A and B are shown apart, each in its own frame.
Chain A
């Protein structure tokens, strides 16, 4: 039994070491940028994993919180000169508040109705920001350029500091996910996912626990938004409230394996390298061939491995048995 645990631990340690050494070996900014994107989306996939994976509520509107994190950080910096780290914390608080306000009505409905409601609310929030002069309206905000330092969360000569910050954030979110998975909270979440009505009859206050899960997701997603704003140094409603962000965080989780910790990370690695790889290799032809291949591969993965990569790896390690997994339907 000890050997069984030692091996994965050693592998994990090696992996971590590799990730820490990576930017020292590969100093080119573009590969580092791809890694940063992978960390960012892995982190947000894990954030989504709490509401969508553990608690089983398919939210398709996480860009709302991404945008709130980004805007809070940039506005506090622009108007009060506050460090982005403060902005990040305030952004997370804002995201929690908004998630409770928006989540409360949303959780009255289930399944697809809930999913569409989260999209609708994201669109509403995006429209408000687009028409709100104070936050720059449709024009968006150029982030004030500060001297490079850790406190300012801006680095102009190298991407390596961003790389380590993103990696650190990812590790934090991984640990949080592990903790949630093992805690009493995680047990409640899974009970809600398995059967809401049964969970309620067991005395679980399902709205309360859904809100807790949603707030955690919102807070963590907003961290991603804050990081993005300091990384790209320009934000506007169309790019930070984009539905494509909401969708991508779900896709990385689904591809890797919903409700697992490794899943979103693996999903992010595959999906981001796929889209960046096809674009760099085949983009620039102007014929969208890269995107077509990306779409084909996404379809192929979903048909070949609908339960995610993690389930597949587990299946490889165990003797084959019936793989008919009954997963609660959307309306369960």
Chain B
């Protein structure tokens, strides 16, 4: 019953008026961010980070706000998938397959309600599972020494890189570029400056928030300038929204199965929400067989990926909180938040700062109920937001990014650096080089090097020490498998693309 007392502690923290208001604001902003094509959970959270800090919120309050945005964006992604056949963010891609056919058949309201409830079921069960699993994993993590942590970081890069790109060489390159950027600046152990080229602005290193906002938000502007915002959403129509109880009830097992599978997919480092929704959709399609009519607009086809990706979003918090290793791009961004707040995620977090961990979990539970209310009865508000033309939205996002970064340091240099990262993000996206490993490298580079140096000093320079313990060996093997396996699986698990032609009509 330890979990109940822990949750009681959490609700004690989370049920203050300020955190409740922040949760509601975060859920609202998050749903909008998720619904807008071109803004997903990672860039949405990224833009809001600097602003959160300048507001002077404490650690718990900042986390509540940003994780509510995170969960909200996962809910919101489905709205544009269903109405426009454009995924609001990547994990919502599978929802287009049955959601858009339902909308075309005049059942957009039903699709939104069913997928909203599926999101709720997935996210709620995953949050409860997080509360149960995380403390145990934190206990195992106490056994980790520097060699194990180094192996764990390697595993995170291998699996995240392996999943994120179609080309392993490009994923590996992105990781190394991130690590190289992390090494710029003062080396705390030796007191030497490295790779600054004599530039004083680089002496403190590259702030990962600058990199994140540049890669995720500024690069988006370039994409929209090139395409002239073709993916805009003018002319969306949605009739009266009613709740199709019987049809929803028929998807109950789908929702439960997909929540379980999605959670596991989320916990695996690197797999994340996109894989969660993909796996659950394919699983349900297989179970339903040809008679299931998947792809023609059936309720199970929207329930499965939405339960899956929201459960994965909760699952991805497990490795982030217990080990300090993010399981997805957005949790990498959340890790950046924690590090900026001087909170080191990992096993000690559960012992030293229980109010942060359990306050976070409690506020996630609250956020879920807020989101259910916003996304089912109030869904029409967000449909209106979809009509904001990109010619207003993207300049707005850019200006917010500039002010956010400027308010952190007040330095023009960081702004220029952010633009450089924006250009880099655009070019990388064109070349199909994933940007998430770059972020991960910048975030983890310092700790990865420290653990390696620590391990080598302990072993007096014996490199086999890195593979000596059973935990480390298992992690290395998992890393190798995670990096190599996608090369072979890619042919088998070819992702179905949303039909391009459907966007035009």
Physical interaction between A and B: no
B-side residues, CB < 8 A to A, are: none
